[in-house]
Amino acid sequence: MLKPLDNYYLQKEEPVKSCLQFLRAHILKQDIHITESWKYGMPFFCYKGKMFCYLWVHKKLLQPYIGIVEGKKINHPDLIIEKRARMKILLIDADKNLPMKKINTILKEVIALYK
């Protein structure tokens, strides 16, 4: 039987499925202290046990995004806060090439908060 974590990715339609699966692998490769877990019904990534980001699909825009737990502490023009108090999100267009430079810059900044 599939774990909820794996099932989450597999039930998505393309190109969102491939986009999320790539982001999942990419986030895990950023640092040996990053682990993956299933919290609040979504895939979360922890740094040394502390939640630092998650992957989800925007309900209205239907675009995948990286949710940054301590987003309020990160100043990046492409991070959106919407109605969240603490978290910010980076929307990803699954139909286009991923903005890897931007993603890497934000992930490095977030990981630095936890070090």
Tens of pLDDT, residue by residue, the chain (115 residues): 778 899 999 999 999 999 999 999 999 999 999 999 999 999 999 999 999 999 999 999 999 999 999 999 999 999 999 998 999 999 999 999 999 999 999 999 999 999 8
Q: In sequence order, which residues have a C-beta less than 8 Å from that of residue 49 and are 6 or more positions away?
A: 35
CATH code for the structural domain at 4-114: 3.90.1150.200
Task: Say if strands 34-39 and 88-91 run parallel, antiparallel, or are unpaired.
Answer: unpaired
Q: How far apart are CA 115 and CA 103, in angstroms?
A: 19
C-alpha angle 66/70/73, rounded to 5°? 115
Handedness of CA 18, 94, 78, 88 (dihedral sign): negative
Domain-by-domain residue ranges, the chain? Answer: 4-114
